[in-house]
């Protein structure tokens, strides 16, 4: 159930058998959500965090004009709202982009981990800081990169993050979301995302079709995006 989460953690630090046991003991109810279902609403008090087992989730905020900004995409193995453990309620919503399976991890189990497993606790803290690093990189994309660079950057990021949990190769990966949802990540309109996707296809970098990202030229894609994966902290240096 939490294998992908363990893969994600182990890409950043070593985990002992005992810590693994503590994590396995912490998991609670398994829940399936349909696509487009918002299961965490901003402001509501929370008593458990959500670990994504299968599918895609996103965090988003709505604006008055009906606009929406997705602030992060979650891939299997991610704790979608681990930060609610310290925040107690969130400033944003969390939604299933695709039919998704999650497990609940009650906050009191997390509290027990912080008391009995300091190293694991620090690693969980690290994981929330990793989400913040992803937010920062998205700020850079939204603030300074052109539409095509931004789109290429997102495809690169997801290729790496999904690769860590065995869900992406250098050639392709599943990303069963719509062009409108991509636009909500990228701060663009779906019309313009469509044009950008065409250009990426014509330049033989990537093709995004029927919920799949097919990478024709990974090196070229990274070059367009100026992609540097350092912000994903994929090494065990110093930890």
Point out which span in 73-81, 111-119, 190-198, 216-224 binds DNA (CB under 7 A): 190-198
Closest CB 61 distance from a second copy, rounded Å: 5
User: Which string of b and e fits 86-103 if b means at least 16 CB within 10 Å?
Assistant: eeeebebbbbbbbebbbb
Which one of DNA, a second copy, none is in contact with 197 (Cβ closer than 5 to 8 A by kind)?
Answer: DNA
**Cα 62 to Cα 199: distance, rounded to the nearest angstrom:** 29
Q: Whose Cβ is closer to DNA: residue 97's or residue 121's?
A: 97
Alpha-carbon 141 to chain mean position: 16
Secondary element (H or E) of residue 127 = helix 118-144
Phi, psi of 141 (to 5 degrees): -60, -50
Q: State the residues that interact with a second copy by CB under 8 A.
A: 42-43, 45, 59, 61, 63-64, 67-69, 71-72, 83, 86-89, 91-92, 114-115, 118, 121-123, 125-126, 128-133, 135-140, 142-145, 186-187, 226, 230-231, 233, 237-239
The CA angle 171-175-176, to the nearest 5 degrees, is: 140
Rounded CA-CA distance 2/103 in Å is 9
Q: Which is nearer to a second copy, 23 or 53 (CB)?
A: 23
Binding site partner of 104, from DNA, a second copy, none, Cβ cut-off 5-8 A by kind: none
Contact status: 160 vs DNA (CB under 7 A)? no
Residues near DNA, by CB under 7 A: 146-148, 178-180, 187-192, 194-195, 197-198, 209
């Amino acid at each position: 159930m939490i294998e992908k989460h363990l893969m994600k953690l182990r890409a950043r630090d070593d985990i002992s058998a005992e810590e693994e046991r503590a994590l396995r003991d912490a998991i609670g109810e398994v829940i399936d959500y349909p696509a487009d279902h918002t299961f965490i609403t901003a402001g509501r008090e929370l008593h458990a965090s959500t670990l994504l087992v299968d599918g895609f989730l996103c965090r988003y905020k709505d604006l008055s004009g009906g606009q929406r900004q997705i602030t992060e995409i979650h891939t299997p193995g991610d704790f979608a709202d681990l930060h609610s453990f310290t925040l107690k309620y969130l400033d944003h919503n969390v939604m299933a982009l695709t039919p998704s399976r999650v497990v609940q991890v009650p906050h009191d189990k997390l509290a027990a981990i912080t008391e009995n497993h300091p190293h694991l606790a620090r690693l969980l803290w690290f994981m929330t800081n990793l989400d913040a690093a992803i937010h920062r990189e998205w700020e850079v994309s939204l603030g300074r990169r052109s539409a095509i660079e931004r789109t290429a950057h997102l495809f690169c990021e997801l290729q790496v993050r999904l690769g860590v949990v065995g869900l992406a190769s250098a050639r392709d990966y599943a990303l069963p979301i719509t062009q409108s949802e991509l636009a909500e990540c990228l701060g663009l309109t779906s019309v313009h995302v469509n044009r950008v996707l065409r250009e990426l296809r014509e330049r033989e970098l990537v093709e995004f079709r029927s919920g799949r990202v097919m990478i024709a030229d990974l090196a070229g894609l990274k070059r367009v995006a100026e992609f540097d994966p350092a912000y994903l902290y994929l090494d065990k240096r110093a930890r």
